[in-house]
Structure 1
Amino acid sequence: MDETSETRQAALAYVESLENRDWPRLTTLLADDVVYEMPQTRERIRGRPAFLRFNTDYPGDWHLRVRRLLADGRAAALWLDVVVGADALEACVWLDVDEHGLISRITDHWPEPYEPPPGREHLVERWSA
């Protein structure tokens, strides 16, 4: 399998794992030192355990559907339809995949900047605007 196909498969498996709350599968897709960033909230999470905890603890009912996926080499871009409770949103997610086929960086872009909800301070670091 070539690099781009491997990256595309990793991106689809990432979204499917999140949507299905399949945490064991998600664990197998992530590099130990994965970095997750949300520029709109200026939050960064470092490491697989913290990223998994962030997702398992995330409140509410949320769902993801891939609208479009582009992969090139070890990078992928996803355009997602996101439903959180009664709110329908769109998000763009950039993924970097390392030489072992593991996701090493995730950057979530949401439509508008916002202040993060309380309760995840122990998992994230924030940077200045």
Structure 2
Amino acid sequence: MTATTTDGDRTRARILRYLEASGTNPDLAHEIFAKDAVLEFPQSGERFRGRETFLAWRRRYPAEVTFRLRRIVGQGDLWVAEAEVRYDGADPHFGVSILEFRDGLVVRETIYGGPPWEAPDWRAPYREARDR
């Protein structure tokens, strides 16, 4: 019996390829976007419109960016990728990318990110141990 590749499997693979290429090959990474895509960073208040616009600034990005994927979840036209992101090998930041698709291409990506923080001691009795 052979395994069947679903649309979800193909979408997951495209998101993974996008994330893996984002730090090293912006041209390859940006094949996932529609020409009229929108990219938003709510924390900085920035919005970029059009694949060529945000591809241009990513080509000039002044840091080496590496990703460690934590997970990808979604279905249909809405997917979320969680990743650990490092800039120039520094301490990790954690990020969430919300990807909205239309006709197989990303039409909107919203990225949230931030540094890790130490959990307060008072919560220790209630939490599970986890690897970062």
**Same fold per superposition (TM over 0.5):** yes
> Counterpart in 2 of 1:9?
13
Q: Which moves more between the two structures, 40-49 or 57-66?
A: 57-66
Query: In the aligned structure 1, how far is the partner of 2:39 from the partner of 2:84?
Result: 19
TM-score, length-normalised on structure 1?
Answer: 0.76
Structure 2 Cα separation of the partners of residues 60 and 16 of structure 1: 15
* Structure 1 residue ranges without an equivalent (≥5): 113-129
Of 60, 74, 79 in structure 1, the residue corresponding to residue 77 of structure 2 is 74
Whichever of the two has the greater Rg, that structure is 2
Give the share of equivalent positions with the same residue, in percent: 29
1:80-95 pair list within 5 angstroms? 80-85=83-88, 86-95=90-99
Q: What's the Cα RMSD here?
A: 1.7
TM-score normalised according to structure 2 size? 0.75
Contact 2:32 2:105 (C-alpha < 8 Å) held by counterparts? yes
**How far is 1:95 from its partner?**
0.6
**How big is the shift at 1:7?**
2.3
How many residues align? The count is: 110
CA deviation digits over 1:31-81, x for unaligned, max 9? 000100000001000001111012111112221121111021111101100
Structure 1 segments, 4+ long, off by >6 Å, are none
Aligned to 1:104: 107
